[in-house]
Amino acid sequence: MNVHETIDTKARHWASVLLEWFRTHRRDLPWRTSPRDPYGVWVSEIMLQQTKVEAVKPYYENWMSHFPTLSSLAKADEDEVLRQWQGLGYYSRARNLHEAVREVEKSYGGVVPNTVQEM
């Protein structure tokens, strides 16, 4: 077994250990839906930057009730977006998300790109 095979074997082992741990200990979070909603995951990732999971959960649920789709967020005016973000801080995250979903709406027909090339 060469060095690369050893590293690859160890990586596969750790990946399976981590996945098993996750299956056992995962938390039920509102953005972990089935099937996964790329927009919802995106929103959660932006909200979770520099913010604890427990603090984000009610904001996420409120956000998704106001902007349930990428298209609904893209059509919203900035004042409404910032009003719904109120309390999370770092308002540039909301502005950047709003601008990004508008770009996705315009350039990709409202569908979050799923390939590296499109991103």
Catalytic residues: 45
The burial of 77, by beta-carbon neighbours within 10 Å (0-12 exposed, 13-18 middle, 19 or more buried), is given as exposed
DSSP H or E run through 95: helix 92-108
Q: 10 Å Cβ neighbour count for 89? A: 11
Which residue do the tokens 């913010």 mark? 51
